[in-house]
Amino acid sequence: MSAASIALNRFGYGFSAKSAAPDDPRRFLLRQMDAFDPAPAAIATRLGTRAKTGEMIELLRRLRQDTRAMAAMEQAGAAAMAPAMTDDMTRQEARAAALDGLPPEYREKLIEARRMLADDIAVRVNLAVSSRTPMAERLVHFWSNHFSVAVGKPGTQFEAGPHEFTTIRPHVFGRFSDMLKAAVLHPAMLIYLDQFQSIGPNAPFIQRRAARGGGDQQRPRGLNENLAREVLELHTLGVGGGYSQDDVTELARALTGWTVPGIGQVGRFAQTQPSGAAFVALVHEPGARRVLGRSYAAGEAKQALAILDDLAAHPATARHIATKFARHFAGDTPPPALVARLEADFLKTGGDLASLTRTLIEAPEAWVAEPVKFRTPFEWLVGALRLTGVEALPAQRIVGALTQLGQAPWGAPSPAGYDDIAASWAGPDALVRRVELAERIARNVPQDGVIARAEAAFPGALGESTLTQLQRAESGQQALALLLVSPEMMRR
């Protein structure tokens, strides 16, 4: 690959006829850091439309008291709970039938939640497709995957989009500690990893309930350490980062009280936080905490923030982040020299992500001529839409395509996010799906000048054999489909 092709494809989302060609590849990338718009209009218009999460969870809790409604929901089963992830009519009918079994107010909420999710996914994709700062969009999606949330639990459909839009986007060239605090304490994460219903065993709420004699047996409540564990293992220190089960439990205690607004008996005591989360002191575990050998005084909401700040600055975090960052841009087995450089930069700057990005751009390991990565399905689709000039594709089409490719946004199979290695994506079936989709995309777009476009998309990097196949194609449409699945397009 030429440096120009690397700047377009390895660092970005590929060629778009609307964007300038990278004359000076490094400057082309550095300029994007200044030009990036963290809060474009398309997102601002989305954010005024929700705040329904607490209502939805409360509704579900009320329904749980109603055995008839619960039986209907049980029948509706997974089909009704699954997010709307397909454009296929049969599936939609099956879903509609399943929805029929639900209590009407809950059904309406579910439909609303799905529509909102699909629209947020479309905003994410269309922003990347039309972006003049595609490297920055790649970084948004990289960090969003680092702080992965997946939809499924009631309410998360409303929150997954805002999680990325408000906790990731503003910080991609900011400080890691700010992104960490925002992303971990956002309602989407608090629900996804069960934090919102975690209660300190010695919290005032528990004491009062005990004093009243028993309390609500229908709602078993207590400490849940799921988020605390993932913060240590995935978001900060990483596996082998030197934390113990005691650290997990202590962080879990510190995190109690962080929840989402509008739920439970304690909801009226909630102090709304800037992230959209709420802090309820009544359910916070009182007292000082000790994490990784450091003590933290009692401090309600601020206690968890202080611990997160220290975790963000920990050397194991620097190592973990440097490794993932290098893997994303410089190869499945990241070059140790690059990891070391990024790690040193992270430590020196205290987690300045703009500096980290500049260090990556300046690093020779990121510019090796051989392709170093197999494009993930999301990268491939955005690249294909940019190359073919498709803009503002309808939400259902986008969601359907990404689902079929195996990488719907905010749908990773685990809190570790989607894998970032070829072995997870370069499968026979995955190729068939890309070929099927390529033929479909090529049918509905301008099909002229495919070879010129191929040369612009992969400047100085288009292989002889691909060129031959494009020239032999029986039509512009077929040539375009072949270009979309060419080896050049599959790798970066």
Interface residue list for other proteins (CB under 8 A) = 74, 77-79, 82, 86-88, 90-91, 194, 197-199, 201, 220-226, 229, 233-234, 239, 245, 400, 403-404, 406, 413-414, 416, 423-433, 435-440, 465-466, 469, 472-474, 478, 481-482, 485-487, 490
Q: What sign does the CA torsion over 12, 16, 20, 25 have?
A: positive
Strands (E), 226-371: 258-259, 271-272, 278-279, 289-291, 294-296
CB of 91 to other proteins, least distance (A): 7
Helical segments of 213-267, H only? 226-230, 245-255
Helical segments of 164-268, H only? 176-184, 187-192, 204-212, 226-230, 245-255
CB of 141 to other proteins, least distance (A): 18
Helix, strand, coil percentages (3-state) for the chain, rounded to 5, are 60, 5, 35
Q: Which is nearer to other proteins, 47 or 416 (CB)?
A: 416
User: Cα–Cα distances in Å, from 453 out to 25, 460, 469, 480?
Assistant: 19, 12, 15, 9
Q: Which is nearer to other proteins, 154 or 459 (CB)?
A: 154
CB of 384 to other proteins, least distance (A): 13
CB of 442 to other proteins, least distance (A): 9
CB atoms closer than 10 angstroms to residue 295? 8
CB of 78 to other proteins, least distance (A): 6
Q: Which is nearer to other proteins, 171 or 491 (CB)?
A: 491
Closest by CA position to 409, among listed 172, 44, 123: 123
User: Cα–Cα distances in Å, from 137 out to 34, 222, 328?
Assistant: 13, 39, 14
Longest pairwise C-alpha distance within the chain: 82
CB of 436 to other proteins, least distance (A): 4
CB of 479 to other proteins, least distance (A): 10
CB 235 within 8 A of CB 243: no
DSSP 3-state of 40: coil
CB of 276 to other proteins, least distance (A): 21
Contacts of 206 (CB under 8 A, 6+ apart): 199, 200, 221, 283
Q: Which is nearer to other proteins, 180 or 206 (CB)?
A: 206
Between CA 273 and CA 309 the distance in angstroms is 17
Q: Which is nearer to other proteins, 112 or 436 (CB)?
A: 436
CB of 481 to other proteins, least distance (A): 6
CB 160 within 8 A of CB 151: yes
Between CA 473 and CA 488 the distance in angstroms is 17
Q: Which is nearer to other proteins, 57 or 139 (CB)?
A: 57
Contacts of 475 (CB under 8 A, 6+ apart): 447
